[in-house]
Amino acid sequence: MLEGAGEIRMQVSNGALASFTQTLPLLHPFGRLACHDLFLTHPAAYHSGFYGPAKYDGSVVNWVNGPLLQLAGNRRGFDVQITPFSGRPEANVRTLVAQVRD
């Protein structure tokens, strides 16, 4: 997962990873899991900024480690894609879609 990113420290997103991997087996074979969140899409991005955890108006905000979820889903036979949020493509929100690989 980190090939080519060099020495890096990143958020692991344990809660998101556990929830994601426990939900995948519940999907219907033709089903799809869709999630809108703050997904980091490239490990190298951790070199250029801070991606949480942080506090915003009393809430904890965490960016989700997208490559980690993609790796976990791919190893379980799912195709996992992260794309810009269609409602506001310029926003930081991304859409993750997971479905059983053909």
* CA atoms within 13 A of residue 98's CA, in its CB half-sphere: 24
Is pLDDT at 96 greater than 80 in this prediction? yes
User: CA nearest 98: which of 78, 83, 84?
Assistant: 78
Please report whether residue 86 resides in a domain.
Answer: yes
Amino acid 21: pLDDT: 95
Q: Are 27 and 33 in contact (CB under 8 A)?
A: yes
**Segment 24-77, tens digit of pLDDT:** 999 999 999 999 988 888 877 777 776 666 676 777 777 888 988 999 999 999
For 57, the 3-state DSSP assignment is coil
- Would 75 be classed as within a structural domain? yes
pLDDT classification of 81: cutoffs 50, 70, 90: very high
Q: What are phi and psi of 71, to 5 degrees?
A: -60, -45
DSSP codes joined into one string, 67-90: HHHHHHHHHTTEEEEEEE-TT-TT
Query: Are 22 and 76 within 8 A, CB to CB?
Result: no
Q: Is residue 18 part of a domain?
A: yes
**Residue 41: inside a domain:** yes
How many domains does one find in the chain? 1
Sequence-ordered list of residues with C-beta below 8 angstroms from that of 44, at least 6 positions apart, any chain = 4, 5, 6, 8
Q: Which residue has the higher pLDDT, 88 or 97?
A: 97
Give pLDDT, residue 62: 79
- Domain of residue 38, residue span: 14-100
